[in-house]
A = this chain, B = another copy of it.
Amino acid sequence: MKTRVFVTLKPSVFDPQGKTIVDALRSMGYGAVRDVRQGKYFELDVDASSADEARSVAAEVADKLLANPVIESYRVEVDGK
């Protein structure tokens, strides 16, 4: 089952990569982009019999390996749900 995990820095954590992108975009003439936050995106193919099972495996994996819960938060999506 196709599962997507989005990992983003918590709002209180400074994102220097995002800041660098905003500066680069401004110098390229894209002043309309006021802010950028960079995160990570994972597509997992989970062997599960239901969407709920896939979601729970993905959340566990995100907690233990994909995200650092001290500074990052994550969101799980199963097949667009």
**Which residues of A line the B interface, CB within 8 A?**
6-8, 18, 21, 24-25, 28, 30-48, 57, 60-61, 64-66
Q: How far is the CA of A28 from the CA of B47 in the complex (A)?
A: 16
Nearest CB of chain B from residue A77's CB, rounded to whole Å? 11
A44 touches B35 (CB 8 A): yes
Give how many copies assemble into the complex.
Answer: 2
Chain B residues contacting A39 (CB-CB under 8 Å) are 40-43
Q: How far is the CA of A46 from the CA of B42 in the complex (A)?
A: 24
A28 touches B66 (CB 8 A): no
A47 touches B34 (CB 8 A): yes
Nearest CB of chain B from residue A46's CB, rounded to whole Å? 6
